[in-house]
Amino acid sequence: MRPVWAEVDLGAIAHNVATLRALVAPAAFCAVVKADGYGHGAVPSARAALAGGADVLAVALVSEGVELREAGIATVVMVLSQASTDEIDRLVAADLDATVYTASGVHDLAEAAERAGRTPQRPVRVHLKVDTGMHRVGAQPDEAVDLARAIADQPALELRSVFTHCAVADEPGNDFTAVQLERFAGIVADIEAAGIEVPCTHAANTAAAIDHPEARLGMVRCGIGIYGIDPAPALAGRVPLVPAMSLRARVSHVKRVAAGEGISYGLRYRPAVDTTIATVPLGYADGLPRRLGALGATVLVGGEHRPIAGSVTMDQILVDLGQDPVEVGDEVVLIGRQGEASVEAADWAGPLDTIAYEIVCGISPRVPRRYLEVHR
């Protein structure tokens, strides 16, 4: 087996769900497991989230919802974006909850429900998304009442919620979140004034769930937080989350390199003194950004931070051990803890001017996942 692996602690995911769920109670809890569970594995992450008390699961794609169904997960699974016309029948067949935000989306979903023989006794569950200012997807505010009415008028469809998404909840002090929530409340009030029942409303992602209690409403949708990653540096430590993923490998080769010799592509890394260089068999094809070494990133060997020497290559990195001993087979921790030292996804994200979400989602499928099971 290749000496590279991502270790996923499912107990940490269950813990994080339980912790966040307690924070937002009595709101229902939706665990977002899209993008293969943010790189952690969708099916194991979903099961761990349910063990931690999640009420609902959410995905971005119909295919992601079908994967959960094929794994035997029967919990409500919400598809967060409106399905394309060629996916709708599959969505209905898998008994997934649909999101809509256009008249054509409602029409196509109603036709799919009819083809599937759905009835008022067994309707397709529908969630209406409205755009309150992020301008990604969602109905315009002045379209919301008509769309809600169109859903309510279809006997084989059932409106289960109206929801929106916060654009700047990860920026404490940014007043646009309050603007969005005020707009959203007005939209919901207009729908209810039209005589249409709204069983549930939701707006909060992990950041809003933590920093904006007024956004918790009837349900929260937590993604990055359930994997133990703070949604933004400004919110770090606000909730005791436990990182679920570590990225590990073993040294595959060791050599001595003379002072001044260039290392890796471009030969830009040149040690000032004779040094020991360890080769570690994973690279940018595995999800390590190529610039990590140039930006001063470190890995852990022997419980100490060691610099990545030169450019990350497609399949390997080089690590500068200085005068310390190292052997083929020694463990290298790229993300995670070794002894008292740790490297977090956020430690890569900051210098790269990105977010920790991108780091964990970018760990390639060719990196094997090893799972530590939830212990009850």
Active site residues: 34, 265
| Pair 202, 161: CB distance under 8 Å | yes
Half-sphere exposure of 91 (CA within 13 A, CB side): 32
Strand partners, 127: 99, 161
| Pair 215, 203: CB distance under 8 Å | yes
Residues with Cβ within 8 Å of residue 248, at least 6 apart in sequence:
4, 5, 6, 7, 331, 332, 333, 334, 336
- d(CA 207, CA 221) in angstroms, rounded, equals 10
- d(CA 96, CA 108) in angstroms, rounded, equals 15
Rg of the Cα atoms in the chain: 24
| Pair 30, 312: CB distance under 8 Å | no
Kindly compute the dihedral angle of the four CA atoms of residues 255, 259, 260, 261, in this order, to the nearest 10 degrees. -20
Chain center to CA of 29 = 15
| Pair 20, 297: CB distance under 8 Å | no
- d(CA 261, CA 320) in angstroms, rounded, equals 13
Which of 190, 206, 80 has its CA nearest to residue 142?
190
Strand partners, 30: 56, 221
Tokens in use for 329?
């087979």
Q: Tell me which amino acid residue 117 is.
A: G
| Pair 45, 20: CB distance under 8 Å | no
